[in-house]
Structure 1
Amino acid sequence: MSESGHTWRQAYKGHPAEAAQVRDWIRSRLDHDDAPLIANELFVAVLGSLTARRPDVIEMTISTAGRRIRITATGQHPLPVLQIHGPGALIISRLTESSGVSVDGFGLWAQLTAPAELEALQ
């Protein structure tokens, strides 16, 4: 199995309307049914970090290696506990192999596995 991969980054405005753009971008990069929903939940969690301090920009990152896919959403402020363990966390935990908070506390990540048939395409 090849462990080579790719990384893509895209910045989005810190506004709820951008969530649709995030889902479209993820869909254009990954052929995984759950990836757009997972990315949406990560984006919304970071977006809702604090109403008074909503991030101006949220950076979305996709990294692949072999069949592993990692989606990350990073904002400009530390995430409060509510955003880390909010309602979207349940969705993310059910659809991914693992997930967590970035080391600096400004972002969330989720790791999933691509279907086996996609490995041959890399």
Structure 2
Amino acid sequence: MPETGQSWQRTFKGLPDQARAARKWARARVEHVDVEQVLAELFAAVLGSGPDLITVTVSTAGDRVRLTAVGPEDLPARLTHGPGHRIIAALSVRSGVTADGCGLWAQLTTETT
């Protein structure tokens, strides 16, 4: 049986106070205990590059949730592997840098073991 899912995308201003709005927006789309924390770390990392705008995408497929935060410029290594990277890695099953190098993503699972 094929998996079905949904995807939502919203662009936020590149300001620290927008992180809260982004977290709440993502949480309203998926129910997962770690969505807000992981998105906060993704957003903070991209925010560190000083963008005017940050685009957040929330996608679901089957038991997977993928969160992505992307800015307009390449992220330096200090932002892709900074302190928040450990939190993202601990709370997600997979994570990485977007193909264009301008953002970060994390995959969560709703599967219970």
Q: Normalized against structure 2, the TM-score is what?
A: 0.95
Q: CA RMSD in A?
A: 1.1
Q: What is the CA–CA distance in structure 2 between the aligned matches of 1:115 and 1:23, rounded to whole Å? A: 22
Q: What is the CA–CA distance in structure 1 between the aligned matches of 2:25 and 2:111, rounded to whole Å? A: 19
How big is the shift at 1:2? 4.8
Task: Indicate the structure (1 or 2) with the bigger Cα radius of gyration.
Answer: 1
Say whether 1:107 aligns with 2:107.
Answer: no
Q: What is the CA–CA distance in structure 2 between the aligned matches of 1:73 and 1:6, rounded to whole Å? A: 17
Corresponding residue for 1:68?
64
Q: Give, as a single letter, the amino acid of the residue that structure 2 aligns with 1:82.
A: R
Q: What is the CA–CA distance in structure 2 between the aligned matches of 1:115 and 1:34, rounded to whole Å? A: 13
Q: What is the CA–CA distance in structure 2 between the aligned matches of 1:77 and 1:107, rounded to whole Å? A: 8
Corresponding residue for 2:77?
81
Q: Give, as a single letter, the amino acid of the residue that structure 2 aligns with 1:47.
A: L
Say whether 1:46 aligns with 2:42.
Answer: no
Question: For structure 1, which runs of at least 5 residues remain unmatched after alignment?
Answer: 117-122
Q: What is the CA–CA distance in structure 2 between the aligned matches of 1:37 and 1:2, rounded to whole Å? A: 30
Say whether 1:55 aligns with 2:42.
Answer: no
How big is the shift at 1:27? 1.2
Q: What is the CA–CA distance in structure 1 between the aligned matches of 2:44 and 2:93, rounded to whole Å? A: 20
Q: Which has the larger share of helix?
A: 1
Q: Provide runs of 4+ in structure 1 moved above 4 Å.
A: none
Of all paired residues, the percent bearing the same amino acid is 50
- Partner-residue secondary structure (3-state), 1:19: helix
Q: What is the CA–CA distance in structure 2 between the aligned matches of 1:99 and 1:115, rounded to whole Å? A: 17
